[in-house]
């Protein structure tokens, strides 16, 4: 953990985010930067893909050259360093390979939060289907915490997930792929009671909540994983980092600004107070 004084304020923890850009500002790199900053850590980025999107959908994706993604990571890690790394949308297998290699070369002892982004809320594929096995093979074994939603977990495990028992089975299988812990998010289940399941080698924690009936949930997964990464960078253990991140995201949903004509963004900056 690193705390640096900047003009009298403290920046607590450095988080390198490797993910795609969201032109609408609600998900991806933009949401990641907001979440990490709102929780008092310092956000750095390596942009792995560009997207043209807004609250109604994703209308184009341009992957960044794998070598250039790796160069962004290298320069940031050599100069500023990191106390946690968050990985989100990587688009294709060559980018996954480049990111994994750079992480292993320069940050292998830094806690890694992997959000295996595959499909946008609009249904647009954000990861090539043939790259799922590469993601599982190259990045899951490196992760401190992997944070799939239910469709992503089904793609990674080939198991159907319809209830909490199914979630347990899928999380156990994913844990066998090598990550230290799995946070399986249950938001895609249909009940009003929601369960997020955190499974580690020491056991499980079930986080229970109530569904918020709102369309303004764009970027929830990106935001949660980045909030977890901020907590790890600040020295929290995975369970406490997840618990704090869930509280942060819940308030961000409840106070969402209601922007756009589709799935609107969260209120990432609810922790920030206006200057007098």
Contact 61, 51 (CB under 8 A): yes
Give Cα separations from 22 to 29, 109, 237, 252, 276 (angstroms).
Answer: 7, 29, 29, 18, 32
What is the C-alpha to C-alpha distance for residues 13 and 1, in angstroms, rounded to an integer?
5
Confirm whether 203 is a catalytic residue. no
Concatenate the DSSP letters of all residues of 179-242 into one string: -SEEEEE-TTSSSSEEEEEEEETTEEEEEEEE----S--BTHHHHHHHHHHHHHHTT--HHHHH
Radius of gyration over every alpha carbon of the chain, rounded to an integer in angstroms: 17
Catalytic residue among 51, 157, 217, 223: 217
Q: Which residues pair with 87 in a beta bridge?
A: 18, 114
Residue 220 falls in the annotated catalytic set: yes
Neighbours of 211 (CB within 10 A): 12
HSE of 102, CA atoms in CB hemisphere, 13 A? 24
Which one of 34, 86, 121, 185 is the catalytic residue?
185
* 3-state DSSP assignment of residue 139: coil
Catalytic residue among 25, 26, 186, 221: 221
Task: Tell me the sheet residues that pair with 92.
Answer: none
Question: Residue 123 catalytic?
Answer: no
- Catalytically annotated residue among 45, 222, 223, 231: 222
Residue 86: active-site member: no
- The catalytically annotated residue of 134, 220, 231, 264 is 220
Active site residue 157: no
Residue 52, classed as helix, strand or coil, is strand
Write the DSSP assignment of 77-117 as a string of letters.
HHHT--SEEEE---BSHHHHHHHHHHHHHH-TTS-EEE---
Show which residues are catalytic: 185, 217, 219-222
């Amino acid at each position: 953990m690193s705390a640096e004084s900047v003009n009298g304020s403290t920046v607590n923890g450095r988080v390198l985010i490797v993910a795609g850009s969201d032109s609408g500002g609600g998900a991806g790199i933009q949401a990641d930067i907001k979440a990490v900053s709102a929780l008092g850590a310092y956000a750095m980025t390596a942009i792995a893909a560009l997207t043209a999107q807004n609250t109604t959908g994703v209308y184009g994706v341009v992957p960044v050259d794998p070598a250039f993604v790796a160069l962004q990571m290298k320069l940031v890690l050599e100069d500023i360093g990191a106390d946690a790394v968050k990985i989100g949308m990587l688009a294709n297998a060559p980018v996954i390979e480049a990111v994994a290699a750079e992480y292993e070369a320069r940050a292998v002892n830094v806690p890694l939060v992997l959000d295996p982004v595959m499909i946008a809320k609009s249904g647009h594929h954000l990861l090539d289907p043939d790259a799922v096995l590469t993601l599982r093979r190259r990045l899951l074994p490196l992760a401190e915490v992997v944070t799939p939603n239910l469709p992503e977990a089904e793609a990674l495990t080939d198991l159907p997930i319809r209830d909490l028992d199914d979630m347990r089975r899928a999380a156990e299988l994913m844990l066998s792929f090598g990550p230290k812990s799995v946070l399986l998010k249950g938001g895609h289940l249909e009940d009003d009671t929601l369960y997020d399941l955190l499974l580690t080698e020491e056991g499980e924690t079930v986080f229970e909540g109530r569904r918020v009936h709102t369309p303004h949930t764009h970027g929830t997964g990106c935001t949660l994983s980045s909030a977890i990464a901020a907590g790890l960078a600040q020295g929290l253990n995975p369970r406490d980092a997840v618990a704090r991140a869930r509280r942060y995201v819940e308030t961000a949903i409840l106070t969402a600004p209601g922007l756009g004509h589709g799935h609107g963004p969260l209120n990432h900056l609810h922790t920030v107070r206006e200057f007098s």
